Amino acid sequence: MTLPAATRRQQLRFGGALALGAAGAVWPGVGMAGWRSWVGKAPRALDVRPVRSVIWAEFLGVNAQLQWFPADVARQQVERLKALGLSWVRLALHWMLIEPEPGRWRLDATDRMMGLVQSAGLHSVAYVVGSPRFASAAPAGADYADKYPPKDPAVYAQRLQLLARRYPQVDVWQVWNEPNIPAFWQPRIDPEGYGRLLQPAVAALRQVSPDKPIAMAGMAYYSQMAGREGLMLDAMGKLGAYQLKLIACYHPYTAEPEGAEDGARDLLTHVPFLNKGLRAYGARQIWATEWGWSSYDGPVEEQPLVGEDGQAGHTLKRLALMATQDFDRVFLFTLADLDDPRVGPRDKRYGLLRANGQPKPVYLALQRFLAICGPRLDPAEPVSIAGGMPPGLVSISWQRPDGKRLWMAWAHEPMSVSLSGVQSGTWHQPLGGTQREVRVEAKSTSSSGLTLDVNTDLQILVWTS
């Protein structure tokens, strides 16, 4: 997502303001009724059932811009990442910066980054985006040639192949980034044009590493196409792209952790619908290669201002939700804030770390969350709530391999909830780093079970069933 200021994305609303229901796309085996069901007006209870087990080291990755930092700061960032127990990074290679003129490569910083990632034992996915002027389809005199695709897809494919040979340690190559929005594809969004870029790129990469996975570009948001109806991921399916056995990727940025603003809570309607369609097209893996929130102070650019505490709270709730869905891997954006004049205020502050490598509240909260969860979580039977699910509550049930049960919860407004059959446990507050032992008092005459005060932040109860 982060590029020099001249190539930042143009505004494309990521909430209810974009009428997905009118997009006109129809997934294989899914009728238009599915689209119409995406409408929601008020916060509703979400009793979320995980679809599979989650191993955090494999499921959660982080975007990183290590080449833009001094070597010692980049090393510190990698150590902070490893301290979370994570092992995947997503790396951006900006073609217009690493080859500004034909054959004139500037790869020193990229070499250092790739060497650092390899020596740290991390897995990586790398994408190449941004046409240099000599290769761009931009008309003569256009201000930003990098926003246009290459005029000759074969040239891009040859460069990808060269980079794949130079960096054999990269586990997955991703072809371009967000071609469904104007910041990365001018003058108009063109699925067929991206298809013409994709096919020779895939062929070139498979000549170098026949057995390595290849990822389609991560589509912005739910892959809505700026300036035209439909979804880019659907359009690529109709063009036969998934027959190339690619990883399907998108970037579900939203105003709130649960989805669009105004309490629509539509993430868990949009994501299952979209992923069901991708599986029907034959997608073998589905990745969310970017998501997150900036802690920037303004001026407001697309994302509402949430500050550092809001960034931490939103990130934990979104991660808890995404872990329950049909994603094979998700990449948080991003590892560290940027102190670079080439990027705007919003794009500078997405980091888990400050630009000097020190942890922000979001890093510490994520570290606590992962420690409470342990390395692996398995789906569990939903907790039983006395009186049923109250409006506004989010409830997720898991089990650790050690037999401990976990209940993740938060609410639109503070409320008290009684868990039937639960007598005691440890009530964790990952944001603040506190915890307390809770139990049904012996003198209580209530048979409803343990009563807990649930607030608007993610909390986790751990107990033995």
Specify the DSSP element, H or E, that contains 172.
strand 172-175
Averaged pLDDT, 16-26? 35
On whether the CB atoms of residues 215 and 244 are closer than 8 A, the answer is no
Helices 71-83 and 108-119 meet at what angle, rounded to 10?
A: 30
pLDDT at 392: 95
Q: Which pair of tokens denotes residue 405?
A: 């049960």
pLDDT above 90 for 10 = no
On whether the CB atoms of residues 37 and 269 are closer than 8 A, the answer is yes
Averaged pLDDT, 123-130? 98
**Cis bond before residue 464 (omega within 30° of 0):** no
Alpha carbons 173 and 216: distance in angstroms, whole number:
9
Alpha carbons 401 and 251: distance in angstroms, whole number:
31
Alpha carbons 461 and 178: distance in angstroms, whole number:
38
Neighbours of 126 (CB within 10 A): 24
Alpha carbons 413 and 393: distance in angstroms, whole number:
8
On whether the CB atoms of residues 114 and 125 are closer than 8 A, the answer is no
> Residue 261 — very low, low, confident or very high, per pLDDT cuts 50/70/90?
confident
The percentage of the chain sitting over the pLDDT mark of 90, rounded to a whole number, equals 86
pLDDT at 42: 46
Alpha carbons 281 and 270: distance in angstroms, whole number:
17
On whether the CB atoms of residues 221 and 251 are closer than 8 A, the answer is yes
The predicted-structure confidence for 172-190, as pLDDT tens digits, reads as follows 999 999 999 999 999 999 9
Spatial CA neighbour of 169 closest among 219, 201, 235, 125: 125
> Residue 12 — very low, low, confident or very high, per pLDDT cuts 50/70/90?
very low
Spatial CA neighbour of 398 closest among 56, 45, 44, 43: 56
Quote the pTM value: 0.92
User: What are the helix (H) ranges across 167-221?
Assistant: 191-208
Q: Output helix, strand, coil percentages for the chain, rounded to the nearest 5.
A: 30, 25, 45
pLDDT above 90 for 291 = yes
pLDDT at 464: 96
Averaged pLDDT, 108-128? 98
Alpha carbons 128 and 98: distance in angstroms, whole number:
10
> Residue 84 — very low, low, confident or very high, per pLDDT cuts 50/70/90?
very high
pLDDT at 446: 54
The SS3 call for residue 66 is: helix
**What is the DSSP pairing of strand 424-429 with strand 459-464?**
antiparallel
> Residue 38 — very low, low, confident or very high, per pLDDT cuts 50/70/90?
very low
Which phi and psi angles does 232 have, rounded to 5°? Answer: -60, -40
Averaged pLDDT, 39-66? 89
Q: Which range has the worst mean pLDDT, 74-83, 252-261, 354-363, 436-445? A: 436-445
- Residue-wise over 8-34: b if at least 16 C-beta within 10 A, else e? bbeebebbbebebeebebebeeeeeeb
Neighbours of 437 (CB within 10 A): 8
> Residue 66 — very low, low, confident or very high, per pLDDT cuts 50/70/90?
very high
Q: Compute CA distances 204 → 79, 98, 169, 198, whole Å.
A: 34, 19, 17, 10
pLDDT at 441: 83
pLDDT above 80 for 105 = yes
Which phi and psi angles does 247 have, rounded to 5°? Answer: -80, 130
Residues in the chain: 465
Task: Name, in order, each residue with C-beta under 8 angstroms of 162's C-beta and a sequence gap of 6 or more.
Answer: none
Spatial CA neighbour of 181 closest among 7, 351, 21: 7
On whether the CB atoms of residues 126 and 100 are closer than 8 A, the answer is no
Alpha carbons 80 and 358: distance in angstroms, whole number:
9
Report the Cα–Cα distance between both ends of the chain, in Å, rounded: 43
The predicted-structure confidence for 299-343, as pLDDT tens digits, reads as follows 999 999 999 999 999 999 999 999 999 999 999 999 999 998 889
Q: How far is CA 42 from the centre of its chain?
A: 25
pLDDT at 19: 32
Q: Which pair of tokens denotes residue 398?
A: 């898991």
Q: Which pair of tokens denotes residue 261?
A: 């603003």
pLDDT at 445: 55
Q: Compute CA distances 321 → 242, 314, 363, whole Å.
A: 26, 11, 18
The predicted-structure confidence for 191-207, as pLDDT tens digits, reads as follows 999 999 999 999 999 99
> Residue 22 — very low, low, confident or very high, per pLDDT cuts 50/70/90?
very low
Q: Which range has the worst mean pLDDT, 12-16, 58-62, 130-134, 316-320? A: 12-16
Residue 6: half-sphere exposure toward Cβ, Cα within 13 Å: 10
Task: Name the residue with higher pLDDT: 26 or 132.
Answer: 132
On whether the CB atoms of residues 225 and 232 are closer than 8 A, the answer is yes
pLDDT at 444: 59
pLDDT at 342: 83
The SS3 call for residue 124 is: strand
The predicted-structure confidence for 411-462, as pLDDT tens digits, reads as follows 999 999 999 999 999 999 999 999 999 999 876 555 679 999 999 999 999 9
Greatest alpha-carbon span in the chain: 82
**Cis bond before residue 299 (omega within 30° of 0):** yes
Alpha carbons 406 and 408: distance in angstroms, whole number:
6
Q: Which pair of tokens denotes residue 174?
A: 């991703």
pLDDT at 126: 98
pLDDT above 80 for 11 = no
User: Mean pLDDT, the chain, as a whole number?
Assistant: 91
Alpha carbons 324 and 12: distance in angstroms, whole number:
27
Q: Which pair of tokens denotes residue 401?
A: 């391999």
